[in-house]
Amino acid sequence: MENIANGTPSLTRGERFRAKYLTRHFAGKLIINILLYLLLFGLSYVVLYPLIMRVANAFKSYEDVYNANVYIIPQNFTVDHVVAAFKRVDLFGKTGWFTLWYSALIAFLQVVSATLAGYGFARFKFPGNKLLFGLVLFVLIVPPTTITTSLYEFFLDVDPWGMVTASGERMSGWNLCATVIPQTIMAIGCVGYKNGLYVYLMRQYFKGMPGVLEEAAFIDGAKPFKAFVRVMLPSAFTMMITCFLFGFCWQWTDDIYTSTIAIDLPSLTRLAMSYNSGSSDQIWNSIQQQTGILIAVLPLILLFIVCQRFFVEGIERSGITGT
């Protein structure tokens, strides 16, 4: 009674503790949180499991692989195979350098044309807008092989209007598959691997932006293109980086184009996958191959850790909604 009259409940420590923590509400919350984190950590483990195994395998010696007691932590720790894989995969050599700038080039071109197209689809109601956008998404549905194989036949022997063979010096046209041209053209035309996705993301992003910004630019006398470059591009930069990183990673690990139209170009992952130790031991072979692949994608993992903000938040904030 006295306490209530004073307005300040003077509880003992034990009472306060009981009131705060020994309630049904708190207990329920606690249990749910524990279950939630258990579930999430378990699922994270499932996701990371292949990566953990690959890293563990990379440091195992031959005996460890056949030792049933060794699961993740190797008994005879060795870096020999990692060093050998580094040499084999040529990460810091010519192949690595080429893969780096080639992936960057392709991703950059894809992003540029996807951004332009995304803006065009989002902001201009020209006749055929919806149809064209539908066609872009349609390209996404078509399995890449359906066109790459015939494009490969085309790029193997390019002879525009018989100009190359006209002089009689060459028997056949140019073999463009040894150059970066085929994929460059595909990147510019936005028909590369999952490029429709980038157009979709950019379109959604531009649709979500207030139109007032451009109107202000138009009133100030800017032409549409200038308004786009000066007003819209700076704010779309984050989204562009997201698309660029996707393009970069998917080009880096690509095995559809590097086995067809880019077959004569060096590729890290192809190099890593083509490894054969020559031993008849399939398991040992595949472990060594995977160590190579791990090293080939190591830059991507680092890139992902550094740029995860762009990867994840870019999509989350794209404001994707229906159509």
Partner 1 sequence: MESTVQTVKKKSRWHIPLERKRQLVGYWFCLPVIFGFFCVFVPGMVSTFVYSVSEVQFNPETFQMDTLFVGFKNYLAMFDNAKFLQALTTALKDMAINVPVVVLFSFFLAILLNRKNFPGRTFFRVIFFLPVIMDSGAASTAGAGSIDQYSEFSFDASASGMTSNIASQFANVLNIQAFLEQLTFSTFIMDFVLKSVDRLNTTINSCGIQVIIFLGALQGVSPSVFEAAEVECLTAWELFWKITLPLISPMILVNLVYTAIDSFGDNAEILTIIDETWYALEQTGTASAMTVFYFLCSTLIVLLIVGVVSRVVFYEE
Residues 184-203 binding partner 1 (CB under 8 A) are 185-186, 188-191, 199
Residues 42-81 binding partner 1 (CB under 8 A) are 43-51, 53-54, 57, 65-68, 70-71
Structure tokens at 57: 């395998």
291 sits near partner 1 (criterion: CB under 8 A):
no
293 sits near partner 1 (criterion: CB under 8 A):
yes
Comparing CA positions, the residue from 287, 247, 102, 249 lying closest to residue 182 is: 102
106 sits near partner 1 (criterion: CB under 8 A):
no
Figure out which of the listed residues 55, 100, 105, 140 binds partner 1, where binding follows CB under 8 A.
140
| Distance separating alpha carbons of residues 230 and 123, to the nearest angstrom | 15
CB of 4 to partner 1, least distance (A): 30
Binding-site string for partner 1 from residue 13 to residue 32, where x marks contact by CB under 8 A and - marks none: --------------------
User: CB within 8 A of 272, min separation 6: which ones?
Assistant: 85, 88, 89, 289, 292, 293, 295, 296
| Cα dihedral 204→210→214→220 (10° resolution) | -170
Residues 147-166 binding partner 1 (CB under 8 A) are 147-151, 153-154, 157
Residues 225-284 binding partner 1 (CB under 8 A) are 225, 228, 249-250, 253-256, 258-260, 269-270, 272-273, 283
The window from 15-23, 75-83, 87-95, 144-152 that contacts partner 1 (CB under 8 A) reads 144-152
Other Cβ atoms less than 10 A from the Cβ of 304: the count is 15
Dmax (CA) of the chain: 112
| Distance separating alpha carbons of residues 101 and 120, to the nearest angstrom | 28
Residue type, 133: F
Structure tokens at 33: 């949180």
Reduce the DSSP state of residue 249 to 3 states and report it: helix
For partner 1, the closer CB: 27 or 36: 36
Reduce the DSSP state of residue 211 to 3 states and report it: coil
The window from 4-12, 75-83, 85-93, 131-139 that contacts partner 1 (CB under 8 A) reads 131-139
37 sits near partner 1 (criterion: CB under 8 A):
yes
Structure tokens at 24: 């049904």
306 sits near partner 1 (criterion: CB under 8 A):
no
CB of 5 to partner 1, least distance (A): 35
